[in-house]
Structure 1
């Protein structure tokens, strides 16, 4: 599967690749490689982005949906703030750079802790 080469990459805050990524860096790289989209990069930590409410600034370019499709942005709350983004592979799985694990992983976002933290599923375009 195409995603195999993206699994196991080291996590690094503000990582934009190709050797290491943070969650936003990985999401942006996948959008560029898989969909040809060059999206806004605030070049700040997710904590700084949450404090500045950057998700609200880019949200008009995305439409909230109920079911994920490949490329959808999965936005998660951490400590009550929208701090984590994953790349949807399909209706259940995502690829994301996980600081807790220290690398990029594929995970089911519809069950367990991730499902309780999911703020929304967004697809690009209005």
Structure 2
């Protein structure tokens, strides 16, 4: 909000629509922003998700490998639990009036822009 008594404030009082339009990004800036967000939100075909490893050669310690496998199984259980809760009609807060299931914290994802999946790491 502009400071009371400033020229911008007077314009806001006299021509609120014009003052508002000055705060909106141009079409090019908006297009660039949306495009960037979409590109950075896409999942690659070879992406690894939380609880997944490309190989077991990252360590030779048996305990670490067992814990990593246990964590991977726990992530699969979390995903199954979320999917089952999405199917439960008694949990109306799961989908809402538009009937869109909750997917935000599903550990895995398919390739592309899916609205789900927790990558094992990020690279930008």
What TM-score does the superposition give when structure 1 sets the normalisation length? 0.23
More helix by share: 2
Give 1 or 2 for the bigger CA radius of gyration.
2
